[in-house]
Amino acid sequence: MKAKELRELSLDELNKKLKELKEELFTLRMDKALHRLNQPHRFKQVKREIARVLTVMNEKRGGNNGN
C-alpha cells in the first residue's frame, strides 16, 4: 500500500493494518524457522509497509516535524 493510500485511512484503520502486518511478519519468521518460507522477499516488503504505517500514524497524531 502506498503512503498516499494510507493517509486516507483513519487511525483505527491504520492500527488494524499495523496489527495485520505484524502478524504477517511473525508468520514469515515462523515459516523461515520451519524451513517453509516460499517468499523471502516478503520480509523486506512487510517491514517497509510497517514503517510506512507508523510514519503516517505519527503524522496524523501531530508528531514532531523534525524541529
Distance of CA 51 to the CA centre of its chain: 6
Model pLDDT, residue 30: 95
User: What kind and span of H or E run contains 43?
Assistant: helix 42-60
Higher pLDDT, 37 or 66: 37
- Within 10 Å of residue 55's Cβ, how many Cβ atoms? 14
| Domain extents in the chain | 3-59
Model pLDDT, residue 37: 87
Residue-wise pLDDT for 19-65, tens only, equals 999 999 999 999 999 999 899 999 999 999 999 999 999 999 986 65
Residue-wise pLDDT for 1-31, tens only, equals 788 999 999 999 999 999 999 999 999 999 9
- The CATH classification number of 3-59 equals 1.10.287
**Residue partners of 57: CB distance under 8 A and separation at least 6:** 11, 14, 15, 18
**pTM score of the predicted model:** 0.86
